[in-house]
Structure 1
């Protein structure tokens, strides 16, 4: 089985949900049970890619790569395998530089493990953040206040210029444009895992949605709910793998997925209100 890294960059808020929630948020986003890290389920992305492939190439190519429909499921398996996409960098409000792309040692450690599985041996080592009051930034950082501190949401952190290795490795894999690569490096930050756990709870988009009665312009009975989304500019990553299935070879699978990644895609729910516009890149 061959594998490649696949990155997802959210161009608008992204709601990959889990149905009705039990807390204050009625429609929460999907998260890993043990870590609370936001994810986009592999099944969601596979469905999006399958629909895009069918629109571009028709049923024949779609069936060979993604497998037959439910009625013919026993004919053969699909040749493409998609893991869940896990968060790599969360956009968080910053006192300087508007926002920061924030990651943590644990998130990057898991990304490096995936990179190794994809045959990329140049992934940097897990960064070391001394304590919860420290943040690592790049040498071109624009998110520092007085070249000494970074303020993310309501968290004040002491900056150390030690994030260049990861920023330089990630930027060209997520962004093809040199301007966006420079912007990513300037806004990249690595915080302690404990700080990241806090930001994962407070830095997502939570929106109140209502449905109005047309004649009175008041909220319809029971038509007020809260839904959560990953903010625009979120970056996630996972693995896309290919296995021979008697119908398609790995090279063709990666070629077709790379082709589909050239077009913006809609992932998750609430497409008609602008949610889930994303772009993909393979590394």
Structure 2
């Protein structure tokens, strides 16, 4: 049983393709999505695999990999790992804005789920989750407006300034992004340019505002594009923010008890390893996809 918990914010600094397999649709290679919300998500197994793959390059010791994250399936000494990542759920999504370049869009549902996850991991977030009507939005930065309207992509929203959104944005910016000069601009922008849409309006952007890239298959013999080789790959856009649970138990190698680590030490090792660090998640790593910055809250 997992005894210690934390929450991990994952902030995309490049497009991320956490693949869901092929689809018979306009998009050949879609990203992973939750069934009930259709929001983009990262499978917990993919996050754990990314940490395992990068463990040594992040400064961890090779001998700690198996006892913390579990051995390979073909190992002769199988046992459960001491670390588990849950699926990452969407908190905020960058949406193109007429003013300010882009905003961090979210919705009451996404905020409430993030607040619940933080509470379950022992980190209370005293957010007053607002309600928003379809076609309206709540904001905290008047510079984003054209008159009294906010324009996102091709849509116009009636806008209301909100002190509760301002408080949520400031707290979220502090929690979600690492300390350091390289993150100062984005921390300030998240604190200023968070916009809360209705669940319905946000759901539209969560499904249709992804980065879709065309690719071609190259014939190895001719070095030219294969006939019928055009395909489309979907990516989560950079500046997206997700949150996932991180859970730890004592190590369970079955060896001498002197080698076992308590859950607190396991969580401390993983937090030290990934907090504020760059991870590569999902596919297309050789084309610079899947780069995310992790921030452990807990």
CA distance in 2, matches of 1:15, 1:84: 15
1:117 counterpart (107, 110, 120): 120
TM-aligned CA deviation for residue 220 of structure 1: 1.2
CA distance in 2, matches of 1:279, 1:194: 28
Structure 2 counterparts to residues 92-107 of structure 1, below 5 A: 92-107=95-110
What does the per-residue CA deviation read over 1:120-166, in whole Å, with 9 as the maximum and x for residues that have no partner?
2233132211x11211111x4542223x2111111111111111121
Q: What is residue 144 of structure 1 aligned with on the other side?
A: 145
Tell me if the contact between 1:52 and 1:260 (Cα under 8 Å) persists in the aligned partners. no
For the pair 1:248 / 2:249, whether they are aligned, the reply is no
Single out whichever of 178-187 and 158-167 deviates more from structure 2: 178-187
Structure 2 vs 1, CA of residues 244 and 144 (structure 1 numbering), >3 Å: closer, same or farther? same
What does the per-residue CA deviation read over 1:8-59, in whole Å, with 9 as the maximum and x for residues that have no partner?
0000000001110121100000001121111011001101111222443333
Structure 2 vs 1, CA of residues 52 and 153 (structure 1 numbering), >3 Å: closer, same or farther? same
Q: What is residue 135 of structure 2 aligned with on the other side?
A: 133
Deviation beyond 4 Å, 4+ runs, structure 1: 212-218
2:172 counterpart (166, 170, 173): 170
TM-score by length of 1: 0.92
Q: What is residue 204 of structure 1 aligned with on the other side?
A: 210
Q: What is residue 195 of structure 1 aligned with on the other side?
A: 201
TM-aligned CA deviation for residue 100 of structure 1: 0.7
CA distance in 2, matches of 1:249, 1:214: 52
TM-score by length of 2: 0.88
For the pair 1:51 / 2:57, whether they are aligned, the reply is no
Structure 2 counterparts to residues 1-283 of structure 1, below 5 A: 1-55=3-57, 56-72=59-75, 75-129=78-132, 131-138=133-140, 140-146=141-147, 148-162=148-162, 163-175=165-177, 176-177=179-180, 178-212=184-218, 219-246=225-252, 247-261=260-274, 262-283=276-297
Tell me if the contact between 2:166 and 2:192 (Cα under 8 Å) persists in the aligned partners. no
Structure 2 unaligned blocks of 5 or more:
253-259
Structure 1 unaligned blocks of 5 or more:
none
Report the RMSD for the aligned CA atoms in angstroms.
Answer: 1.9
Q: What is residue 256 of structure 2 aligned with on the other side?
A: none
Structure 2 vs 1, CA of residues 88 and 220 (structure 1 numbering), >3 Å: closer, same or farther? same
